[in-house]
Amino acid sequence: MLKKELEKILSTAAGKISKEKISFELEYPRDPSHGDYACTVAMQLSKKLGKPPQDIANSIIDNVDKGELIESLEMAGPGFINIRASNLAYSKSFEKLLESINQKTFGKPERKKEKIILDYSQPNIAKPLGVHHLLSTVIGQCLSNIFRFQEYDTTSINYLGDWGTQFGKLIYAYRTWGDKKVIEKNPIPELLKLYVKFHNEAEKNPKLENEGREEFKKLEEGDEENTKLWEWVVEISMQEVQKTYEKLGGINFDHYWGEAHVRNKTASIIEDGKKKGFFKEGEEGALMMFFPNEKYPPFMIQKKDGTTLYSTRDLATLKNRVKEVDGGRIIYVVDVAQQLYFQQMFETAKLLGYTKNSQPYHVVFGRMQFPNEGMSTRKGKVVLLDELIDEAVKRATQKIEEHKGSLPNQEKKELAQMMGVGAVKYNVLSQNRQKNFTFDWNTMLSFEGNSAPYLQYAYTRTQSLLRKATDQKIKTGNSLEITKVEEKNLLKEMFRFESILNDVLTEYKPNILCNYLFELSQTFSLFYNNLSILNADSDLQKSTRIKLVTSFSHVLKTGLELLGIQVPSRM
């Protein structure tokens, strides 16, 4: 919009000085009093032209055709060009913004469609969704939402832990201690009890580990009885997992394809590795990947009993995905504990020649830990995601009651759900994924600061204003008049939306969008507090400011929905 128009003007002027096409982007000055935008192209050209950047900046300014878009240009400091746009430029750019919102193209750049495969959430069958699944699920879903919004050809996959030795252990435990009717009444907790019991008993009798491995080997070899039992466990487990996803809201996958999806394609992986001389027998007969120059520790590909591992199945899956994505991106959203594993897996795939056309990427995120709480499912100690969501909704309900509003009970219930779930998601998404996550109930549910309730409340203020405008029968015309600094600042923030989404998808960091929405809402607050909207001096001012409120509410709502957070109309 305005920024792109000004970049064209400055680029044309810079081209007259350098005689070459120069690529650059305008920046936002740290101090708004210096202008609306700043340009550093003079400093880029200084070395190439052998002239001081200040002289180049002044030459560019002399060659700029200001037209009707630029109010003033000035050179500052080491060679910055500060640009102040005209009121007319803002008005015209606002018209384009409104048009893009109406045409549903706002925030969507024109680009060649790239294929994206996103792998996130990844629960293990027969185990509950714990709070550790929350991070992968909401980060992955947010990235999926933004890729789709910007019209990438996106496929989201929930790669289930539905194969492996743990199923052999579960099959043994079920046959030894299980009761089908009891399990069907409460599937995951009862299956988890059996899994925990197996490990408790195996600590007393280590021979049970071999029994579990033997049952999995039979399953992998196609034993009919074990296969039917496995299918039943997967079915009843997924029914329960889906209930938790529904509670969390907005969690969607194109495919639920787990390890079992490629169980018949692992033999070719093993054969490839052996032929190319990478897979060799290690100690006790296990098949290992030995990396050239010992770049990484050896990577186990097949157990000594001939059964496959997570790594074997992951390589088969990645090989398939490279074919499907055809040069696009393959993204795994998995926590930092698996960082070495993915380095080994990606390097193995590269050496086997599987990733020539598409490089996979591991979106690493830190851990969320609670004081004095273990997270080992094997020992039966896990912070359940269901319980976390329930607690969030309960605390949100208390917050709503403290404010003693006049909302009907049903609306209070819906609001508590939006606030509670929104607070949990935003607490994850607003933090830098590369660091460990801090879980703080007080910050999460605060109506002040960078939180979901603060942003939800900012949206409800716009809806209240727009309802009043309707009640007062204020008409909005086609003309616009942008003159006040608060109006310009709000517009400038809204113009940034598309580039913010691009940054999120470049760095795979949803916190960039969260920080932007917080800054946007603060800018709106200044606009709201400093300028009269419904009682503005003229009908033209009223019309313009109501459209600004409408546009801001659209941008904020769109941003929150991309984060997976619902917005209420009243709070």
pLDDT tens, position by position, 532-544:
999 999 999 999 9
Using alpha carbons only, give the angle 99, 104, 110 rounded to the nearest 5 degrees.
Answer: 95
- Residue for token pair 């194969």: 163
- Region 111-122: what's the mean pLDDT? 91
pLDDT of the residue at 371: 54
Cα–Cα distances (Å) from 502 to 324, 379, 499, in that order, read 24, 42, 5
Using alpha carbons only, give the angle 470, 476, 477 rounded to the nearest 5 degrees.
Answer: 160
Burial environment of residue 269 by CB neighbours within 10 A (0 to 12, 13 to 18, 19 or more): buried
Q: What digits encode the pLDDT tens for the residues 420-447? A: 999 999 999 999 999 998 888 888 888 8
The Cα–Cα gap between 169 and 153 comes to: 40
pLDDT class of 29 with cuts at 50, 70, 90:
confident
pLDDT class of 377 with cuts at 50, 70, 90:
very low
Q: What residues have CB less than 8 Å from 186, skipping those under 6 apart?
A: none
Burial environment of residue 2 by CB neighbours within 10 A (0 to 12, 13 to 18, 19 or more): buried
Whether 375 shows a pLDDT value over 60: the answer reads: no
Asked if residue 41 lies in contact with residue 22, where contact means CB atoms within 8 angstroms, the answer is yes
- Region 271-292: what's the mean pLDDT? 92
Q: What digits encode the pLDDT tens for the residues 335-347? A: 999 999 999 999 9
- Region 366-381: what's the mean pLDDT? 57
Rg (CA), the chain: 29
Distance of CA 257 to the CA centre of its chain: 20
Q: Which residues pair with 317 in a beta bridge?
A: none
Cα–Cα distances (Å) from 297 to 292, 300, 352, 360, in that order, read 10, 10, 17, 20
The Cα–Cα gap between 5 and 90 comes to: 11
pLDDT class of 209 with cuts at 50, 70, 90:
very high
Q: What digits encode the pLDDT tens for the residues 67-105? A: 999 999 999 989 999 999 999 999 999 999 999 999 999
The Cα–Cα gap between 152 and 155 comes to: 9
The Cα–Cα gap between 19 and 13 comes to: 10
Burial environment of residue 201 by CB neighbours within 10 A (0 to 12, 13 to 18, 19 or more): middle
- Name residue 326's amino acid: D
Q: What digits encode the pLDDT tens for the residues 469-506? A: 999 999 888 899 999 999 999 999 999 999 999 999 99
- Region 39-47: what's the mean pLDDT? 90
403-431 residues labelled b (16+ CB within 10 A) or e (exposed): eeeeeeeebbeebbbbbbbbbbbbbbbbb
Find the farthest-apart pair of alpha carbons in the chain and give their distance in angstroms, rounded: 87
Take residue 266 and report the two structure tokens written for it.
Answer: 């692992």
Nearest Cα neighbor of 169 from 188, 145, 191, 147 is 191
- pTM of model > 0.75: yes
User: Crossing angle of helices 41-49/53-63, nearest 10°?
Assistant: 120
Extended beta strands in 35-69, E state: 37-39
Cα–Cα distances (Å) from 253 to 123, 141, 159, 245, 250, in that order, read 13, 9, 10, 11, 10
DSSP string for 161-226: B--SHHHHHHHHHHHHH--HHHHHHSHHHHHHHHHHHHHHHHHH-THHHHHHHHHHHHHHTT-HHH
pLDDT of the residue at 47: 84
Length of the chain: 571
Q: What residues have CB less than 8 Å from 183, skipping those under 6 apart?
A: 174, 190, 191, 236
Backbone angles phi, psi at 153, to 5 degrees: -80, 90
Nearest Cα neighbor of 97 from 556, 568, 555 is 555
Query: Domains in the chain, ordered, with CATH?
Result: 2-85 (3.30.1360.70), 118-379 (3.40.50.620), 385-563 (1.10.730.10)
User: Crossing angle of helices 409-429/452-471, nearest 10°?
Assistant: 130
Select, from the ranges 177-191, 372-386, 513-527, the one with the highest average predicted confidence (pLDDT).
513-527
The Cα–Cα gap between 279 and 271 comes to: 9
Asked if residue 24 lies in contact with residue 41, where contact means CB atoms within 8 angstroms, the answer is yes
Output the average pLDDT for the chain.
92
Whether 378 shows a pLDDT value over 60: the answer reads: no
pLDDT of the residue at 376: 45
Whether 277 shows a pLDDT value over 90: the answer reads: yes
The Cα–Cα gap between 307 and 284 comes to: 14
